[in-house]
């Protein structure tokens, strides 16, 4: 009568598209392997995808979506992005999301002019229904909550 337990299938964005450039000590990280790991309600183990940077350190990760029924369950997803440097995976992005809409894990807007410097300290951003831990900066980024060394 009130729609409780409604199990209609819905599309959820588990990882919005991310594009930008990666640097180490100010030098573009060219032709490097990027590993995006995503997990969500339906895939509680990490689902891995691999991409590469171009000659200028540019990368472009497409949207990742899933279709499933949640019923009364709260949607959650997490994305971790690593880059391979000298045979080691280095994390430069982690975000979580409880909304499941396009760009909701970034506060509702696409990331503009994303630049990731691997030597940066990690930044923490906590928003309404999302959180980010990153070594990246972008022009429309929300205010940071903290840094990891405090």
4-18, 31-45, 60-74, 132-146 — most confident range: 31-45
Of the listed ranges 99-103, 114-118, 120-124, the least confidently predicted one is 99-103
Residue 62 pLDDT grade (very low, low, confident, very high; cuts 50, 70, 90): very high
pLDDT in tens, 5-58: 455 788 889 999 999 999 999 999 999 999 999 999 887 899 999 999 999 999
CATH at 117: 2.60.40
The verdict on residue 104 lying in a domain is yes
Model-level pTM greater than 0.85? yes
SS3 of the chain: CCCCCCCCCEEEEEECCEEEEEEECCEECCCCEEEEEEEECCCCCCEEEEEECCCCCEEEECCEEEEECCCCCCCCEEEEEEEEECCEEEEEEEEEECCCCCCHHHCCCCCCCEEEECCCCCEEEEECCEEEEECEECCCCCCCCEECCC
84 CB contacts (<8 Å, ≥6 apart)? 32, 33, 34, 35, 90
**Domain range holding 65?**
10-147
The verdict on residue 2 lying in a domain is no
Of residues 129 and 125, more confidently modeled = 125
The verdict on residue 140 lying in a domain is yes
| Tokens 């503009």, residue located | 112
Of the chain, the percentage scoring pLDDT greater than 70 comes to 90
> Whole-number mean pLDDT of the chain?
89
């Amino acid at each position: 009568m009130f729609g409780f337990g409604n199990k209609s299938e819905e599309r959820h964005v588990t990882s919005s598209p991310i594009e930008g450039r990666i640097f180490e000590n100010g030098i573009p990280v060219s032709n490097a392997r990027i590993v995006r790991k995503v997990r969500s309600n339906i895939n509680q183990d990490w689902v891995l995808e691999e991409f590469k940077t171009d000659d200028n350190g540019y990368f472009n990760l497409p949207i990742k979506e899933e279709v499933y029924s949640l019923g009364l369950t709260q949607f959650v997803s997490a994305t971790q992005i690593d880059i391979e440097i000298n045979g080691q995976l280095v994390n430069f992005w982690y975000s979580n999301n409880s909304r499941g809409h396009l760009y909701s894990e970034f506060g509702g807007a696409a990331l503009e002019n994303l630049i990731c410097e691997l030597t940066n300290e990690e930044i923490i951003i906590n928003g309404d229904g999302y959180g980010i831990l990153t070594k990246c900066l972008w022009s429309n980024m929300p205010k940071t909550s903290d840094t990891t060394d405090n």
